[in-house]
Amino acid sequence: MIKFSEERLKKVHEIIARYPDGKQKSALIPILHMAQDDFGGWLDAPAMDYVAELLQIKPIEVYEVATFYSMFNTKPVGKHVLEVCRTGPCMLNGSDDIIDYIKEKLGISEGETTADGLFTLKPAECLGACGYAPMMQLGEHYKEHLTKEKIDTLIAELRGGAKN
Amino acid sequence: MAVKVLLKNDHIEGIRYYDTYRKHGGYAAAEKALKMAPADIVEEVKKSGLRGRGGAGFPTGMKWSFLAKPEGVPRHLVCNADESEPGTFKDRYLMEFHPHTLIEGLLISSFALGSNATYIYIRGEYAWIVAILEQAIDEAKKNGWLGKNIQGTGFDCEIYVHRGAGAYICGEETALIESLEGKRGNPRMKPPFPAIQGLWMRPTVVNNVETLAAVVPIINMGGEEYAKIGVGRSTGSKLLSVCGNVNKPGVYEIDMTISVEEFIYSDEYCGGIPNGKRLKACIPGGSSVPIVPANLLFKTAKGETRYMNYESLSDGGFATGTMMGSGGFIVLDEDQCIVRHTMTLARFYNHESCGQCSPCREGTGWMYKILKNIENGKGKMSDIDLLWDIQRRIEGNTICPLGDAAAWPVAAAIRHFRDEFEWHVNNPEESQRRNFGLAHYADPIHVPAGA
């Protein structure tokens, strides 16, 4: 069953308390982040319904928000989502080559997940790291000044980590 | 000229932490401000001539003076940290390395405006910065700069960090407010302006990170002294984030009196173009502002030197000038393809359109499709005029400025580089193999001295 742990529920209530009484809907985006982190990296209908219940709002109010923001996945994704920026400044510094290299290396296209469920390639639009291009977002961190060698190392590390 | 105002403590190790920040003069401005009348703080900011650093350049003191103060209705200050304009990463630098400067600026501004609950709306992707800010907030609170009865003044203030989830449009202040209320980021019709009915329909001021951080030096040195930095209506210092084809990308602080040429070629700043290449074009204020070819970048159409400030960059209007914008400085060298670059920007705006207004929702996708065709050798000559027509019909016809922001880059690319678009159409196969070379231009593009 979908449910936050006691500790996470405490955090949920702490977040709700940041907003005035009756404005608990304001906590929706922060709590959707928590739900995505805790419930498998994406938001399915039961997870969104659970968040609606916690915030005492209608499920549709959650769906319309979850589908609007690009950080929320409404379809299953791999364990590691490689979000490679491809907007102007990154393009000037070779992001196209980086994306092509990842595609070739992992045998997947944009938006796809590897058969072992480890990696999803998700091309991203500007992530605010233009001076450190090319770059990608991996979970809560940025990987910057990417090269093919760095991609090799990163993927090997993530594969290694998965075995543990 | 190099100035160090916001980044004056940039070299000090540990400036991210309270004790170090305090030891180097941190919270002195807060001490001073909390003894002032709130209206006098607003007055100092007015005198400073500070203009919004998010992109629009609206005078901050004036924006503050519009805030409605009905009896019994709470007011809010919201810090816009949804930095998403391609080419812009200056706020990230401030928050990551100087979080206490922002917190101090927020405290002073909250006191001036009477906000007891202030929110920092930060783009969701800057996840690790949330922890940095929350730590700074904790430290400030432990030392009596936030919470109840701050420094015995009777003023209460809490600062909360609110994480977004990936939407460029939430940098627009009314979309940001909608998002902060837990909704889709659809901009609101104005009026009513946020200063009258903003967050939860309460009077609200939304300011950019850099703007609010600048309140600290303004209070420290006084508005009049601060206004002496810079030139004309471009007062104070400005952070620029540099990217693209330069030797030294990064964040720089300038006083808005240096020339564009010096900024690009001096070792103190960008350090020139890598690999001895020539400069082709530049987008000096974030991806929305018009791209200008090198020959119009260093000199205005009148032949005068162009400087890094609001007035000089926009000299000549959109025909021959551009804008200061957010300070996202994007440099393109001679090997870059204008069509491809414009295509990525069109894709960006198409992805980020909220879909509320049809000119923007339909137009951005249409422009992207046409640009993709031209870039991939499937374009027609009539497509170039069609692009021009579409962007013209988006501009000014949408609720928020995203429509304009999507139209301008396409318009400017065609205005200045039409020959490059035509070359793509006329040489569909060759354009797949190589880029349009500089040799095609009648005007010589800037060649640095000694090259």
Find residue B285's DSSP bridge partners: none
pLDDT, tens digit, for every residue of A84-131? 999 999 999 999 999 999 999 999 999 999 999 999 999 999 999 999
Residue keyed to tokens 């019909």: B393
The number of domains in chain A is: 2
Hey, what amino acid is at B3?
A: V
Is B13 a domain residue?
Answer: no
> Do B214 and B132 lie in a common domain?
yes
B151 secondary structure, DSSP code: G
> Do B261 and B406 lie in a common domain?
no
Contact A87 B249 (CB under 8 A): no
> Do B25 and B157 lie in a common domain?
yes
Residue B370 — very low, low, confident or very high, per pLDDT cuts 50/70/90? Answer: very high
Contact B168 A32 (CB under 8 A): no
What pTM was estimated for this model as a whole?
A: 0.95
Contact A69 B352 (CB under 8 A): no
Of A40, A66, A92, the position where a domain reaches its end is A66
> Do A50 and A101 lie in a common domain?
no
- Interface confidence, given as ipTM, is 0.96
> Do B182 and B216 lie in a common domain?
yes
The number of domains in chain B is: 3
Flag whether residue B250 sits within 8 Å of chain A, measured between CB atoms.
yes
- Chain B residues closer than 8 Å to A61 by CB: 182-183
> Do B69 and B152 lie in a common domain?
yes
B174: pLDDT strictly greater than 50: yes
At A164 the pLDDT is 43
- Chain B residues closer than 8 Å to A140 by CB: 127-128
Average pLDDT over residues B300-313: 93
Q: Are B38 and B112 in contact (CB under 8 A)?
A: yes
Query: Mutation test of the interface with chain B: which of A34, A64, A92, A122, choosing the one with the most B Cβ atoms within 10 A?
Result: A92
Flag whether residue B109 sits within 8 Å of chain A, measured between CB atoms.
no
> Do B286 and B190 lie in a common domain?
no
> Do B265 and B123 lie in a common domain?
no
Q: What is the average pLDDT value for chain A, to the nearest integer?
A: 95
- Scored b (16 or more CB within 10 A) or e, A122-133 reads bbbbbbbbbbbb
Domain extent, residue A145, equals 80-163
> Do B145 and B208 lie in a common domain?
yes
> Do A85 and A157 lie in a common domain?
yes
At B398 the pLDDT is 97
Phi, psi of B160 (to 5 degrees): -120, 140
Is A96 a domain residue?
Answer: yes
pLDDT, tens digit, for every residue of A58-74? 999 999 999 999 999 99
A163: pLDDT strictly greater than 60: no
> Do B308 and B400 lie in a common domain?
no
Q: Are B236 and B323 in contact (CB under 8 A)?
A: no
Domain extent, residue B259, equals 240-333
Of B333, B353, B380, the position where a domain reaches its end is B333
At B383 the pLDDT is 98
Find residue B207's DSSP bridge partners: B79
Give how far Cα B304 sits from Cα of A134, B295, B324, B327, Å: 36, 12, 17, 22
Q: How far apart are the first and last CA of chain B?
A: 25
Q: Are B326 and B54 in contact (CB under 8 A)?
A: yes
CA quadruple B334, B337, B339, B342: dihedral, nearest 10: -80
B313: pLDDT strictly greater than 80: yes
Contact A88 B85 (CB under 8 A): no
Query: Mutation test of the interface with chain B: which of A87, A122, A145, choosing the one with the most B Cβ atoms within 10 A?
Result: A87
Q: Are B147 and B156 in contact (CB under 8 A)?
A: yes
Residue A14 — very low, low, confident or very high, per pLDDT cuts 50/70/90? Answer: very high
pLDDT, tens digit, for every residue of B200-242? 999 999 999 999 999 999 999 999 999 999 888 889 999 999 9
> Do B216 and B248 lie in a common domain?
no
Helix, strand, or coil (residue B296): helix
Q: Which of B18-22, B95-99, B331-335, B386-390 has the lowest mean pLDDT?
A: B331-335
Residue B79, domain CATH:
3.40.50.11540
> Do A106 and A139 lie in a common domain?
yes
B261: pLDDT strictly greater than 80: yes
Q: Nearest by CB to B341, which of A65, A92, A128?
A: A92
Q: Which of B7-11, B283-287, B435-439 has the lowest mean pLDDT?
A: B435-439
Minimal CA separation from A11 to chain B, in Å: 14
Token output for A1: 């069953």
Phi, psi of B60 (to 5 degrees): -65, -45
> Do A115 and A138 lie in a common domain?
yes
Residue of B nearest to A36 (CA): B165
Q: How far apart are the first and last CA of chain A?
A: 26
List residues of chain A with CB under 8 Å from any CB of chain B.
18, 20, 23, 25-30, 32-33, 55, 57, 61, 64-65, 68-72, 86-89, 91-93, 125-133, 137, 139-142
> Do B293 and B367 lie in a common domain?
no
Give how far Cα A150 sits from Cα of A106, A146, A153, B246, Å: 15, 6, 5, 22
Of B283, B308, B333, the position where a domain reaches its end is B333
Query: Mutation test of the interface with chain A: which of B73, B89, B209, B333, choosing the one with the most A Cβ atoms within 10 A?
Result: B89
At B441 the pLDDT is 59
> Do A151 and A94 lie in a common domain?
yes
Residue A155, domain CATH:
3.40.30.10
Is A124 a domain residue?
Answer: yes
Flag whether residue B94 sits within 8 Å of chain A, measured between CB atoms.
no
Q: Are A51 and A31 in contact (CB under 8 A)?
A: yes
At B451 the pLDDT is 40
- Scored b (16 or more CB within 10 A) or e, B299-328 reads bbeeeeebbbbbebbbbbeeebbbbbbbbb
> Do A156 and A85 lie in a common domain?
yes
Is B327 a domain residue?
Answer: yes
* Contacts of A51 by beta carbon, 8 Å cutoff, 6+ apart: A28, A31, A32, A35, A62
CA A74 to the chain's CA centroid: 10
- Chain B residues closer than 8 Å to A139 by CB: 127
> Do A88 and A31 lie in a common domain?
no
> Do B306 and B373 lie in a common domain?
no
Is B235 a domain residue?
Answer: no
Is B444 a domain residue?
Answer: no
Q: Are B249 and B330 in contact (CB under 8 A)?
A: no
Going by C-alpha positions, the residue among B154, B146, B170 that lies closest to residue B83 is: B170
**Chain A to chain B, count of Cβ pairs less than 8 Å apart?**
146
